[in-house]
Amino acid sequence: MSNESKNPPVAKFRDQGVTVSVWERTTDKGTFYSVTTECSYKSGEEWKKTDFVQDNQIQTLRKLLDLAHTDILFRQGKLPE
């Protein structure tokens, strides 16, 4: 994922402290996509990030992953414009 950290994600979807990022990687074999998830929470006065999802965030994560999947399909030309 070192290449992904050098370039910004091609899309980000956020809701209720949950973020799903879509990453694009182009190689000699083609263009590939992956996603990362992240949850933000406040600890005292400081905002922190984790990859753990609380039970009340599961539905939000599912919806954001669905949006990311649709975005990837569109980028791959598998959905009409």
3-state secondary structure of 80: coil
Return the pLDDT at 1. 47
Per-residue pLDDT of the chain (81 residues; tens, 9 = 90+): 444 458 999 999 999 999 999 999 999 999 999 999 999 999 999 999 999 999 999 999 999 999 999 999 999 999 876
CB 11 within 8 A of CB 35: no
3-state secondary structure of 7: coil
